[in-house]
Structures are given as C-alpha cells and as structure tokens.
Amino acid sequence: MNSRSIAARDKIIVALDVPRKEAALDLVRQLAGQISFFKIGLQLYTAEGPEIVRAVRGTGAKVVLDLKLHDIPNTVARAVRSAAELGVQMLTVHLSGGEAMIRAAGSARSGDLLLLGVTLLTSANEQTLREIGIPDKIDNHVLRLAKLGVSAGIAGLVASPREAKMLRAEFGKEIKIVTPGVRPGWAEEVDQKRVMTPREALEAGADYLVIGRPITAHPDPSEAVARILDEIEA
C-alpha cells in the first residue's frame, strides 16, 4: 500500500454499529489492512462494556469512543479519565452540556486523547431545533456551539459535512473536524438528513469521515471500503 493509500485510509472511521462483540471483531479483522480507525458507539458499548474497547484495541486498531457524554461536570470528568485509561484515541462529548462541563472534560484528558465536541446530530433539522425551543438556523446553532467548545479548550468538532466548510473557515487548521453523515453515492438513503459523499466531505474541510452502514451492511465490507478509497483518491 503506497503512502497516498495510507493517507486516505487514515481519514475513514468505520462505525461498528453492530450488536455484539463477535460481529465487531469480525469486521475489524476483515478491514484491518485497509482501515486504521473504528468507532464504538452506544449500541455496542452498552452490550459489551469496556471489554469491547480492549478487544478492538488489542487488534492494533485505533478507537473512537462515541458516547456523546452529557452530564454534570464531575461525572463527565470521571468518564473521560476512564476512557483515557482504556487507550482510546478519540472521545465524544456533547457541547450542549455547557462550558463548565466541557472544561471539566478537558481537565480530565490525558495523553494523546482527542476530545470531540458534538454540535448537532446529523438526524436533526430546523424542525428538530424548534421542537426543543431553539428558533434558529442550523448553521448558526452549530457555529455557536463550536465557538463555545473551542473557547473551552476543545480541539475537535463533530458536525455534518454540510457545516464543515463553515467551521474550517472559522477555525482554520486549529481544530480537527469529524463528519458523520457521509454516504457514497451508491449507498441507500437512511435517517441522516445532512449528508455528503466522501469526496465532497473532504473537499468541504473534513479531517475524518465516519462511515457505517454503507460499509458494515455491504455484502462485502472490504469491497465497499475499496470503492470509497478509490473515490477519495480519484
């Protein structure tokens, strides 16, 4: 694999949105030669607990622990310490938890752990904002939370690819941008509303692309990854 392929490989985070440890590890082993990062989210972590993180790390893979922490500052700080002890590379926290919570998370970070501040879920739209009492445009809300997070010490942001260009223009190379809601043109539509293709997301300014079902639900996940890498490198 040449250096260009390695660079492309390190931009993809495969979401292990599967119910059990065995299925997750099977995917990790299938894709080990193509992908460096794997995301463990609420479904898998709730089913398997910290052991699934240790198992995936034990294969040599890098882990993004996507728990979207949102609680009182002391509780979030303790959770961040626990995640750091597991050796994960990235951990998500909800920026809507406020400045005190964000700073508590940052103070508990250790080593090279990158805290990722979640702005707005990709399943949300302006109707969602109105339902929770926020009469604003999505871009305004995302930027407001992003500024809060960065001012409180966050070095990475999670936002849909449709906000990536705005965030890159605002913060430059100061932050890492992680974008879920990335779907190749050949993938089926799902419940995410603010989406782009992998190539579009990278051109908009994303550093990392979170891709789940287009890979994990594909009859041949390795082939799906290869197609996505081809698109990125084209």
pLDDT tens digit string along 75-87? Answer: 999 999 999 999 9
Cα separation of 122 and 160, whole Å?
A: 6
Is residue 41's pLDDT more than 70? yes
pLDDT of residue 2: 44
Cα separation of 36 and 231, whole Å?
A: 18
The band of 123, judged by pLDDT with boundaries at 50, 70 and 90, is confident
**Residue span of the structural domain in which 164 resides:** 3-233
Is residue 8's pLDDT more than 60? yes
pLDDT of residue 171: 96
Any idea which residue has 């009182």 for tokens? 72
Catalytically active residues, by annotation = 68
Rg (CA), the chain: 17
Closest-CA residue to 198 (of 220, 214, 174, 216): 214
Is residue 4's pLDDT more than 50? no
The band of 58, judged by pLDDT with boundaries at 50, 70 and 90, is very high
pLDDT of residue 6: 55
The model's pTM is 0.91
The 10s digit of each residue's pLDDT in 149-161 is 999 999 999 999 9
Query: What CATH number does residue 82 fall under?
Result: 3.20.20.70
**What angle separates helix 50-58 from helix 73-86, to the nearest 10 degrees?**
30
Q: Report the number of distinct structural domains present in the chain.
A: 1
